[in-house]
Amino acid sequence: MIQIAIDGPGGAGKSTVAKAVAAKLGIVYVDTGALYRTVGYYVRQKDISPDDREGVGAILCEISIEIKYVDGAQHVFLNGEDLGDKIRTPEMSMYASKVSAIPAVRAFLLDTQRDIAKKNSVIMDGRDIGTVILPNADVKIFLTASEECRAMRRYKELIERGQDVKYEDVLAEMNQRDKQDSTRDVAPTAAAADAVLLDNTGMTFDQTVDAVIALAMEKRGK
Ligand code: DC
């Protein structure tokens, strides 16, 4: 069994890199951001403000979240419904970021994340995986890149998904979200003390994947 934690700000390529590493190593990829997006989606459906801590806390008992893997791809089910790409919009990104600052939401999602890592070898990406969720992970990586590079990647990803977005808006939204995520009181985005910092500005996707695999091999060998 191996646990690989990848944390970092938005647009660093955590999810695409982690997915590729998981496929190469034959382990399970866990996208934890999808869980916060799912809570955000339900909060939006219920017309509750994502800033309303009490309101959000009160509806958590109505939520059942399940993660299933179909052909190796992670699907998140909210009360039995596969949400698919509905959680991938800029609006859902902002809802996810806001509800993720609420301690009750983080506590609600804790066991779901830890249980998967107990039963499977995983590469898990998020903001607090190395610091809070899997503090004993075998490999911890803090993946980052320059602001412009990250915003451009996110922009291209959204355009490829057919969304009508402007680069400037993507950059502004990304910065606002990163600020929220890294300055919140509970489990802010942070590199664990024993994490390896990997800045992939100017690195290709394949180079980043290879670098993560090399780090995993090196740590495992020790
Ligand atoms: O990784 P992502 O963009 O899908 O994450 C959406 C939001 O969820 C992000 O802005 C902050 C929150 N999040 C978190 O607080 N902790 C995690 N482990 C993963 C995501």
**Whose CA is closest to atom 11 on ligand 1?**
97
Residue 222's pLDDT is: 60
Q: How far apart are CA 215 and CA 209, in angstroms?
A: 10
Residue 17's pLDDT is: 97
Give me the mean pLDDT over the 144-165 stretch. 93
Q: Which atom of ligand 1 is nearest to the CA of 100?
A: 15
Q: How far apart are CA 166 and CA 170, in angstroms?
A: 6
The rounded Å distance from CA 222 to ligand 1 centre is 31
Q: Distance between alpha carbon 151 and the CA centroid of its chain, in Å?
A: 16
Residues 115-137 have pLDDT tens digits of 999 999 999 999 999 999 999 99
**Buried residues in 33-53 as b, exposed as e (16+ CB within 10 A):** bbbbbbbbbbbbeeebebeeb
Q: Is 113 in the pocket of ligand 1 (CB under 6 A)?
A: no
Give me the mean pLDDT over the 101-127 stretch. 97
Task: Specify the higher pLDDT residue, 162 or 219.
Answer: 162
Residues in the chain: 222
The rounded Å distance from CA 162 to ligand 1 centre is 22
Residue 161's pLDDT is: 87
Q: How far apart are CA 49 and CA 68, in angstroms?
A: 28
Q: Which atom of ligand 1 is nearest to the CA of 129?
A: 18
Q: How confident is the model at residue 163 (pLDDT cuts 50, 70, 90)?
A: confident
pTM for the whole structure: 0.95
Give me the mean pLDDT over the 103-125 stretch. 97
Residues 164-221 have pLDDT tens digits of 999 999 999 999 999 999 999 999 999 999 999 999 999 999 999 999 999 998 877 6
Residue 207's pLDDT is: 97
Q: How confident is the model at residue 72 (pLDDT cuts 50, 70, 90)?
A: confident
